[in-house]
Chain A
Amino acid sequence: MDEKKDLDKGQCGRRDFLSRLGCAVAGGATALAAGVALAPEGQAAVAAKPNAPKIPGYDWGNHHYAFGVDATKCIGCLRCVEACKTENEVAGDAHHFRTWVERYAHVEGEDKVRIDSQADPVNIAASDSEGQYRFANRYKDVKVDKAFFVPKLCNHCTHPACVQVCPTGATYKTKDGFVVIDHTYCIGCQYCVQACPYGARFFNPVTRVTDKCTWCYHRVTKGLQPACVEVCPVGARIFGDLNDKQSSISQFVANNRVAVLKPETGNAPNVFYVGIDKDVE
């Protein structure tokens, strides 16, 4: 978690600068006038000194990370969901997830696919806990023609709608390909929650700011894999650096016909899927 704080500090350069200046002028000038006068200077400061995170041995200019999901491998064990909750201190309930898994079941004689996630009340009842997850065996009495699992998480889009709408710039795109949130700067308006077409963001009721998957930035910059990738027993989740042509993600994208979710939004997601069906979005 230390790296996470470092990232926040590193990214905060513009805002630190501005808040210091803001404090200095607050006594004398009106809030409105100060806001207008300060913004251009703040942007100039960014140009002069790029806000690279202060992480030893890590240069964010050398990386371009991406995520892969091989849905044909996922067995719906949900270890990824539990690992994520533990690693990132996500609230242990059925309404706040940085990552989740969807189950698609085509039942014989039905036109519409049946979809649920681990958060479905039936599945929560089966696990008897909002903190531990499993898929209930709810289709045991019907004939299932086709069924598969699809892990979901933040797509860390190239053109993220959430970043576009953030009124303060508290959420932003990093040079190495992550969309992250400065929890010390977010005002908690939840406009980004509305703007994300994938439902990847949520309002953290404890910190009272927006939260979402960071691809475990604090682990990745230490040379580790995201927690969900680390615990996946079947290798359904792939993470790596696209700048490294030998990395698992580069190989995954090069050797498969990959798809992204909701491409029509123009968000250009960076989670690449293999083995999903037309109903998945």
Chain B
Amino acid sequence: MIRLSLLCQCLLAALLLTCLGSLLHGSGIVWAMLHGNQTLPALQLQLLLQLRLPRLLVAICSGMLLSSAGAAIQARFRNPLAEPGLLGIYSGAALAAALALSLGAGILPVSLAGFAGSLLTLWLIRLLASPNGNGSRLILSGVAISALLGSLLTLLITTLPDGALRSITFWLMGSFANAEWPQAWLLLLATPLVWLGLFRQWRLLNALQLGEATAFHLGFDIRRGAWLVVCLASIAAGVVVSSCGMIGFVGLLAPHLTRLLTGSDARRLLLAAPLLGAWLTVSADWLARSLLAPAELPVGVITSLLGAPFFLWLLRREQESPRA
């Protein structure tokens, strides 16, 4: 096992370099500097401050939120397949956003509708599952609600006109292309709050690895603590999905990758996973922007396209290595 501080420093360095690259790529600034041009053209400064910077911040924050929420929710349910959208949060947000779109709303109202939709789904699950600490019932209720909301979404999409259809694709694929300062501020506010809330529960998350009964015996109030974790992870999913759509696989992949490096201790995991997650989303966004430039791919396509095969490889590798 690598020392945690060293690992975090490496991840941070990789993240910073990637951020710098993504920020400056193709902007002509490096070229200008190399030629001794001290003053930046106003247009390029505008590009950096109004488009690239908020987009970068949204990518960083959503990666951090998705990966820490994924790590926490996998620990809470003792299920390696769990991810932040497990309880139907994504479907709820997408449905609400599609509803807002079909009513002709703009980007920001659609984002807000998406967030409201995710909170509404969470409330609905709370109502139906009566969370008495029983995890499997919570998961199953979430799966059922997810299926229900998903079919409602499909129903709605079939009635949408072409223009709105294109916009809803953004929701289903995930993209940072519409990220502007309002979304960036929302995420900058939410990320530290959610992360801190989850990190404070590291002992509970560790204890839950031993089963819910044992966690209770060790002195944890499962009813309250586990519900808090689910709420925070769902809020994280809601904030991300409402500002940049469904970015697949980051919430699943980043915690798994981190676990390879840190082991399954929740404290180490919650420290390293956000850095790795942010690096993943920033890199994916850079690729999405530059692969087919000037055309742009939805970032969710990149994360799933690269994430799914990598995840499969990871599973094979875990199976083959003897547990020594």
Q: A and B: real partners?
A: no
